[in-house]
Amino acid sequence: MTFTFTLTKGQHWAAVRAVQRRTVSYKLAWAFFGGVPAIILAVTLAGGASLWSAIASNPFGIVAGPFVMVAGFPLIQYWSVAMHHRNFPTLKGVQSFTLTPTHLSMSGPLHNTDLDWGAVRRIVETQSFFLFYISKATAYFLPKSAIPLEGQHHLREQLTQWLPGRVAFRTDNAAAA
């Protein structure tokens, strides 16, 4: 099975975010940058302060952490992706993914990569991508927009057969279609 697509910055950024959301470090960052402000707010409110006075008494401690997670990190990631698209010509042009019973091949006008399935730790399906993890926090991604709907079902069946126990597919109606 071969799928081709032209990678956009938006797709690349969305894929980076999808991979990041599945890491332990991302979950720990949310626990810290979301949890500490929640604790500060709870303690202040428990002391009898109103919500607005609690925020006014410690605006940086309550607002900054969630702001970093919601806006700061995504913006930094977008800048990084934009830099990659500006400086790495391997991302330009038509990209090709070929999946066979023995390996995954990726190529473009300036690159070729061939991985035996043994190098792939797991495959995760998101709303927009199939993520091919080669480590806990690094994954190649295949946009689902590059695969016809009927081809997505066939791809799931093949990957389940080729990589038993290493696939995690969506179970909602959109994935089943």
pLDDT in tens, 117-171: 999 999 999 999 999 999 988 999 999 999 998 899 999 999 999 999 999 998 7
Q: Is 54 found in the same domain as 110?
A: no
Q: Is 124 found in the same domain as 49?
A: no
Q: Is 136 helix (H, G, I), strand (E, B) or coil?
A: coil
State how far the Cα of 61 lies from the Cα of 36, in Å rounded to an integer: 8
pLDDT band at 172 (very low <50, low <70, confident <90, very high): low
Structure tokens at 137: 């926090």
The residue among 87, 103, 133 that closes a domain is 87
Q: Is 114 found in the same domain as 171?
A: yes
Q: Is 96 found in the same domain as 164?
A: yes
Give ∠ CA 18-64-22 in degrees, rounded to 5: 15
Q: Is 105 found in the same domain as 81?
A: no
pLDDT band at 177 (very low <50, low <70, confident <90, very high): very low
The count of domains in the chain is 2
Give the up-direction half-sphere exposure of residue 74: CA atoms within 13 A in the CB hemisphere: 11
Alpha helices, DSSP H, located in the chain: 9-20, 24-46, 51-57, 59-67, 73-87, 149-162, 173-176
Q: Is 70 found in the same domain as 127?
A: no
Residue 155 · residue 33 · CB < 8 Å: no
Alpha carbon 24 to its chain's center: 13
**Domain residue limits at 136:** 2-7+92-176
Q: Is 112 found in the same domain as 65?
A: no
Q: Is 64 found in the same domain as 114?
A: no
